Structures are given as structure tokens and as C-alpha cells.
Amino acid sequence: MKILVTGGGGFIGSHLAKRLHQDGNFVRVADVKYDGYIKDKYYDEKEIADLRIFRNCMKVTEGIDYVYDLAANMGGIGFITTVGAEVMHDNVLINTHMLEASRINQVKRYFFSSSACVYPTFLQIKENAKGLKEADAYPADPDSFYGWEKLFTEKICESYQRDYKMDIRIARYHNIYGPEGTYQGGKEKSPAALCRKIAQADDPG
């Protein structure tokens, strides 16, 4: 199986690519930069590509069976609640170009990494709020521009699946953290930031 992981230089993408590679698949990773989350080689081909540009999306999807689209301009809650236009601009371009390139290059299956940020704010205000279900995303009221972009892209995926019969899967990630994850700098997730603050406290006990 020939697999493309976009965002393959990021935390989730690099770990996913490593697992797919270990399972015996041909893995191509594509990203605008590589942050060194995994030190050993975890791919067969590595592309440095700005996926906001359509021709780059065409290049990285050529000859590919499965696409895992994890590329995004994003970070922890501090980042996505203060940066709006840049996040929406970059991610809408990446995702629309990747979907169209995958269609043209006849990719067999496409995975889009969405986010729990798509869920309405009004369902999460109370401390005793019920657990969220997929259907709870509507009526829509995401708490950030990042959430709106993810929800919008889910609808683009739905339209491509309906109109072009593409095999598309979507998952809404919650807080993702773990070994080798971003620990500081403004784009770290809340659990990692909390762990850092405890570790750096004068008296962690």
C-alpha cells in the first residue's frame, strides 16, 4: 500500500507515519517543515512542500493509494484562540487543494483529521455537561475560528464523497499529547503545558 501522510513533520503525523511504515507500507511524508519529533527514519520518501499551493498537492498525491491529511496551521488552545485569519486562510487552502488533488490522482481513500473544536460552545459551559456525540456538532457554534475551519472542511469532504463517490473518513481529535510532543513555546497542548509547569515548579511536591 502506498500511503501519504501530510503533516508528516508534526507530532501526530510523524507517529502515524512511523506506525504505517513499521507495518510494511510505502510511506511518503509531506510537510512545510520538520520539527524532529522522531529521530530515526520513519518513511520511504520525504517531501518538503507548502500544501497551500495546488501543484505541490498534485505532486505529493501522485501514485498514492491512501491519504492521511493531517497538515494544518495549528497549535494549543493559546494559539488557536488568538490566531484566526491565518489559521482559516492556510488550512482551507491546504484541505481544498488536497481533496481536489486526491480526486484527480484517483486516491482510493482519504482521511481528514478534524477536531473536537467543532462542537458548540453552549454544550460545554456547565461543569456537569453530558458527553458529546457526533451529531452534537449541529446547530453549529464552534468556540474558535479553527473550529469553524474544521467544520467547514468536514462539509467539503462530505460534498466530495457525495459528488465524486470518494471514500472519505473523518475523525475529530481531542487533546492529543504524549512522548516527544511539543512541551513549550506557545503551541503546546494544555496537558503538556500543565506537566511542564509542575516539573519546573520550585516545589513540585
Kindly indicate the confidence band of residue 44, based on its pLDDT and cuts at 50, 70 and 90: very high
At residue 146, does pLDDT exceed 60?
A: yes
- Encode burial over 74-94: b for 16+ CB neighbours within 10 A, e otherwise: bbbbebbeebeeebbebbebb
State CA 125 to chain mean position distance.
25
pLDDT tens for 167-187 read 999 999 987 777 776 666 655
In the chain, count H helices and then E strands. 6, 6
C-alpha angle with apex 80: 75 to 81, nearest 5 degrees? 145
Q: Out of 3.30.70.20, 3.40.50.720, 3.40.50.620, 3.30.420.40, which CATH number does the structure's domain 2-200 have?
A: 3.40.50.720
- CA dist., res. 68 & res. 176, Å (int): 16
Residues that are catalytic? 146
- Mean pLDDT, the chain, integer: 90
| pLDDT top residue among 196 and 43 | 43
pTM: 0.87
Alpha helices in 31-84 (DSSP H): 54-61, 77-80
- CA dist., res. 87 & res. 80, Å (int): 8
At residue 90, does pLDDT exceed 90?
A: yes
Domain ranges in the chain are 2-200
pLDDT number for residue 92: 96
At residue 193, does pLDDT exceed 60?
A: yes
